[in-house]
Amino acid sequence: MTTIYYLEDDENIAQLVREYLSGHGFHVSVYPTIAGAKEAFLRKRPTLTLVDWNMPDGNGRAFCRWVRDQWQELPVIFITVRGDADDIVSGFQNGADDYVVKPFELAVLYSRIQALLRRTRHNAGQSLSCGDISLDRERRQVYWKTEEVHLGPLEYDLLLTLLQNQGKTVTRQSLLEKLWDSNGNFVNDNTLTVTMKRLRDKLHQPRSLKTVRSVGYRMEEERS
């Protein structure tokens, strides 16, 4: 499910937006402060975020910069109370991808979200994530929350395979057939077990990486 974090301190607007977008298949979490939103981001990254430009504990500019410094491809829409050109330019300069002016029609916001998701979807194959784990295929970088994790070639290939099959159980046999070392040597069962243990240790024993007893492994999002 597409998850949206919405930074908004007006309870009435937040409730209307959440109900509307939830009715269109999104999971929306509302945060009335920037501090609360940052804590949520560090626990789990959303698919997209909506940022009200004026928050009680700061300005949306700084939050957009904070997001963009850590998650380059994450879609951001900022919401401003007026169509001021300086505000709009500032938003784009600080990392926003689009903007909506209050008061706005809910259908307009929905269409902007859909359009932005379509524009960014072509990057989805390069960036994979599950729970606190994210993997950038283009840069061959792996992160646990915001911490970069350095994996060996077999560990990386194992994680990539599981992320590419997120929600599905990947059997040990299929992993053994897929994971060859750099010299073309077949990876044996014991090597797979040791590699999985090292991977789990480096990723802080993630709950999203599950063992299916006597079958294989599965990556899946934790249900709240």
Dihedral (CA of 85, 88, 91, 95) sign: negative
**Which residues form the domain of 204?**
131-219
Is residue 50 included in any domain, yes or no?
Answer: yes
Residue type, 109: L
The mean pLDDT value of the chain amounts to: 85
Kind and range of the H or E run holding 143: strand 141-144
pLDDT at 89: 58
- In 3D space, the residue among 26, 69, 78 whose CA is nearest the CA of residue 50 turns out to be 78
Same domain, 115 and 144: no
pLDDT at 223: 57
Q: Rounded mean pLDDT of 12-40?
A: 94
Q: Which of 96, 124, 152 is the last residue of a domain?
A: 124
H helices of the chain, where? 11-23, 34-43, 60-70, 85-93, 106-120, 153-164, 172-178, 189-202
Distance of CA 109 to the CA centre of its chain: 21
pLDDT at 170: 93
Q: Give how many domains the chain has, as a whole number.
A: 2
Same domain, 81 and 151: no
- In 3D space, the residue among 9, 20, 16, 119 whose CA is nearest the CA of residue 58 turns out to be 9
Query: Domain of 94: which CATH number?
Result: 3.40.50.2300
Instruction: Render pLDDT for 102-124 as a digit per residue (tens, 0 to 9).
Output: 889 999 999 999 888 877 764 55
Is residue 106 included in any domain, yes or no?
Answer: yes
Of 6-20, 50-64, 146-160, 161-175, which one has max mean pLDDT?
6-20
Is residue 224 included in any domain, yes or no?
Answer: no
Instruction: Render pLDDT for 185-215 as a digit per residue (tens, 0 to 9).
Output: 567 788 899 999 999 999 999 999 999 998 9
DSSP bridge pairs for 3: 27
Same domain, 105 and 214: no
Tell me which DSSP letter residue 165 carries. T
Same domain, 106 and 10: yes
Same domain, 68 and 51: yes
